[in-house]
Amino acid sequence: MDQLVKELLQGNRRAAARLISNIENDVPEKRALLQEVFPHTGNAYVIGITGAPGSGKSSLVDCLLKKIRRDGLTVGIIAVDPTSPFSGGAILGDRIRMQDHALDEGIFIRSMGTRGSLGGLSRSTREAIQVLDAFGKDIILVETVGVGQSEVDIVKTADTTVVVLTPAGGDSVQTLKAGIMEIADIFVVNKADLSGAERTITEINIMLDMKNETQWRPPVVRTISVQNEGMDELWQELRNHKHFMKESEKLLEVRKERVRRELTEQVEYLVKNKIWEQVREGIEIETLVDRIVHRRLDPYSAAAELLEEIDFL
Amino acid sequence: MDQLVKELLQGNRRAAARLISNIENDVPEKRALLQEVFPHTGNAYVIGITGAPGSGKSSLVDCLLKKIRRDGLTVGIIAVDPTSPFSGGAILGDRIRMQDHALDEGIFIRSMGTRGSLGGLSRSTREAIQVLDAFGKDIILVETVGVGQSEVDIVKTADTTVVVLTPAGGDSVQTLKAGIMEIADIFVVNKADLSGAERTITEINIMLDMKNETQWRPPVVRTISVQNEGMDELWQELRNHKHFMKESEKLLEVRKERVRRELTEQVEYLVKNKIWEQVREGIEIETLVDRIVHRRLDPYSAAAELLEEIDFL
């Protein structure tokens, strides 16, 4: 087994950090590493936390973190910022937050930015979750800035999804209408001391009434994260939802669905690689490219032609 | 031929709008439509315009648009907003801008938001360009809000890329350092009447000096779009770059590269479809899923197993 994976399983923090970096940098041995990590996963519970910039997610996560630690559970945090291709800011934030918790071995914090595509980011995030899971963290918090697709991607990796809103955001309700509603297992109205909090809560509840979900109605928790208020209730609701997911076998269901997606993605990945390999090794594509560029052939028909020439096994 | 495509080629605006909507909505006949459109493309020159929110891109594009129209060329505008999955705002902006130009048949404006993935958005944008190209527009302006990956995606569709900066943005130089530098063919410093404009220009030039590009050194154009200033120079530089691209055969080169990418993407698309089709038709994946969920098999080995069962032809 790879030395790094061995050290990860022994609880070595630097090994965990190095493994995640290797994954982010897409090193050639990445798949082999993930393959070794995989059998040691499946024990962590993954909580996704999403919300608009300025909704106070980071401080909320920090408070929640302390609460979970007091219950004796270990926590991994993955802070995802899909709006920036530059990891500079993310890493800085990382360092600052890390200092707060530097002496606590039960906490591991990692920021991730978009190095490649957004698709690449959601993949790296999933892979980093695997590493922290194998690392032995009980709870993994995935925190993301809400920019549309990223919230949806979070749901695909999290067992429980928390949507953070603020009374200040005039957009909040509009946002809810347009799809966020579907992904929340728990709503948090943060900065609940601001005026408008009651209205926001009422609006969420009206929408929940319309949805009329019978199995799990998302609770609405009010918090003031800068004053560390509402954390007991939030943590209680998180445990309730976890319990519901396990008892109703929904957890197995969503995890199976995740595996299905992962599996077909891996097949697609292998296939893509085979295509590119054979293109590099000289399958004739330049003639096709030439004909397309001069509009004598369309790319759709050309693709069908090319497909016949590729050996997939 | 499809009636809609026929009407597009005859210059019917509503047909153009409907075709783009069909593409965005991923209708089943999308590929057939694009196949019919394709032979009529390749004549438009595509200009990408990117910059941070608040850099005044939209008003810049509006001024540039008027300038280009005065030269007798027709213009298509595709305004891409990858930060929002909701088209509501985009469509509203659309309508307001459309009113300004409602009487000019030589202008066609369309906004696009992220309906699905960001990857999906860059594909729809490319496809909308094809439609406006076949529609007969001489110049297609693709305007995008800069959020990392989207700028990079623009470059892949544009023949010339304009990066818009403002003196106000303290971030501007940092942004430049981190990769935007690589994609700009022309820099615009908009709001050039604000203090700090000279410094921004100097900083761009220092970086251009370091890069020391011999074939094409990106010019730095100052504009004040709300006062319609700098448009003559910008349009002149755009024509210079177009001339350079054609003369140096770079245009053919980048368009070929685009075709290569499109071609392999199409093959990947066909392959993906085949995988999913066969999974739906009952290739046994549930046993694999079960073994993975219980950690008796990893998804990477499972994918290799599955690959052998798929018939790609």
- CB contact under 8 Å between B267 and A83, yes or no, is no
Q: A42-248 is classed in which CATH architecture?
A: 3-Layer(aba) Sandwich (3.40)
Strand partners, A47: A141, A160
- Chain centroid, CA A185 distance in Å: 15
- The Cα–Cα gap between B111 and A291 comes to 32
Q: What is the pLDDT of residues A7-21, one digit of tens each?
A: 999 999 999 999 999
Q: Which residue of B has its CA nearest to A153?
A: B117
B295-to-A43, B67, B291 alpha-carbon distances in Å: 11, 63, 6
A109 vs A151, higher pLDDT: A109
- Distance CA(B116)–CA(B95), nearest Å, equals 23
Contacts with B49 (C-beta within 8 Å, 6 or more apart), sequence order: B57, B60, B61, B141, B142, B143, B144, B161, B162, B164
* Amino acid A88: pLDDT: 37
CA atoms within 13 Å, Cβ hemisphere of A195: 0
DSSP state of A251: H
Cβ-Cβ contacts under 8 Å, A117 against chain B: 118-119, 149
Contacts of B150 in chain A (CB under 8 A): none
Q: What is the pLDDT of residues A75-108, one digit of tens each?
A: 999 988 765 544 434 444 555 565 667 678 899 9
The mean pLDDT of B58-72, rounded to a whole number, is 92
The beta-carbon neighbor of A303 closest among B116, B270, B292 is B270
Provide DSSP, A130-147.
HHHHHTT-SEEEEEEE--
Residues of A in contact with B292 (CB under 8 A): 259, 262-263
pLDDT digits (tens, 9 = 90+) for A91-100: 445 555 656 6
Rounded to 10°, the helix B118-134/B13-24 angle is 160
Secondary-structure breakdown of chain B: helix, strand, coil percentages, each rounded to the nearest 5? 60, 15, 30
Question: Which of the residues A50, A182, A256, A259 would you substitute to probe the B interface, choosing the one with the greatest number of B C-beta atoms within 10 Å?
Answer: A259
Instruction: Provide, as residue numbers in chain B, all residues whose Cβ is less than 8 Å from the Cβ of A85.
Output: 148-149, 152, 178-179
- Burial group, residue A240, by CB count within 10 angstroms (0-12, 13-18, 19+): middle
Q: How close A84 gets to chain B, by Cα (Å)?
A: 5
Q: Do A178 and B88 touch (CB under 8 A)?
A: yes
Cα–Cα distance for residue pair B74/B65, rounded to 1 Å: 9
Across the range A129-155, mean pLDDT stands at: 82
Q: Which of B300, B308, B313 sits opposite A31 (nearest CB)?
A: B300
What ipTM was assigned to the predicted interfaces of this complex?
Answer: 0.80
pTM tops 0.90, yes or no: no
pLDDT band at residue B12 under the 50/70/90 scheme: very high
How far, in Å, CA of A31 to CA of A22, rounded? 11
Chain B contacts of A264, Cβ < 8 Å?
A: 275-276, 279, 285
Domain boundaries, chain A: 42-248, 260-309
